[in-house]
Amino acid sequence: MCIVRVRRNHLVEDALDEIARQYRRDLFKPLRVHFIGEEGIDAGGVKKEFFQLLVAELLSPDYGMLVYQPESHTYWFNACSLEGEEQFMLLGLVLGLAIYNRVLLDFPLPLALYKKLLQQSVGLRDLEDMQPTLGRSLRQLLQYEGPDSVEDTFCLTFSVEMDFFGDLRTISLKPGGEDLPVTEETRHEYVDLMVDYLLNRSIHRQFEAFFHGFRILCDGPAIRLFNACEVERLVCGNPNLDFAALERNAKYEGGFSAASTAVQWLWGIVRDELSFDEKKMYLKFFTGSDRSPIGGLGSLKCVIQRDGPDSSKLPTSHTCFNTLLLPEYATREKMADRLRLAILNAEGFGLE
């Protein structure tokens, strides 16, 4: 058994120390997590909470390791990060540990990263997926056939500007690039160098450390049987959601059963009244992820638990145990109102 002991208020520091202590020796054993000072026994829920909290902290702007890409709703390496290789190694190891222990992560990464983990080349299409506006502008450069020259129209040189914490620096894409104009003859070279810089060269240090951590647990021929999309599903789950399967396999506690009126209302609301995006929010509200595991939602052990009689209280959840705590509301309309209010305003482990 690989037992990781961490303090909540020193999560990243303790996780790094614990993983370093058990490096290669115990990491291949089943993972058990213990929060120091707490009595919880890890039957799966504590481990899931550990990953959720750790990823949330590592993605925090306070660390500055990754940068949010608003157009694609994904994270990419911060080329200007001041964090050391050990933090990026930990991030990669978290990804590998989650796959190895079958824990889904709310870790939105672009497909380019999974391709790089499989040591596949990345190109303009991958940049377009991650940064659509920039990708389209580069493609327009390649396709331009206007009356004026590329040099006069786009006024580009073989360089890129990068913001290093408020200090705007010009980086040459090739020797002397700042003084070399992009022309009809050289625009393909410029686009290739720009894509390579953004997806490879600028984040080489960060990615190599991340890759090192990932392949500690996920190296070898088996991982190469997957394509990038399949590895993404191993990490984040399947975007195809079968809520009928979730309902068929749900368990009930606290006085509820599948035949309870409140339970019938709940599934009717989910099935008939929630939009697809709201259904995803509902799933994330009580499981911590808006995707299903590889086996589908039918393989997810979810629990609907009665949380007292009718009241104005909102539904709550224990995401670590996939448990929805639902008051026995007096009417379906009230339940729909309370449920929608809860899922639309929830983030993480509590309401904003």
| Residues noted as catalytic | 320
Supply the DSSP string of 176-205, one letter for each residue: TGGG-B--TTTHHHHHHHHHHHHHTGGGHH
Q: How far apart are CA 296 and CA 214, in angstroms?
A: 25
Phi and psi at residue 330, to the nearest 5°: -75, -30
Phi and psi at residue 220, to the nearest 5°: 110, 175
Task: Output the six-digit token pair for 230.
Answer: 């399949």
Residue 2: strand pairing partners = 31
- Sort strands 2-6 and 31-35 into parallel, antiparallel or unpaired: parallel
Nearest to 195, CA basis, from 132, 126, 133: 126
The radius of gyration of the chain's CA atoms, rounded to the nearest angstrom, is: 24
CA dihedral 169, 74, 278, 261 (to 10 degrees): -130
Supply the DSSP string of 78-92, one letter for each residue: -TT----HHHHHHHH
Nearest to 235, CA basis, from 44, 47, 105: 105
Supply the DSSP string of 28-68, one letter for each residue: TSPEEEEETT-----SSHHHHHHHHHHHHHHTSTTT-SEEE
H-helix or E-strand spanning residue 284:
helix 276-287
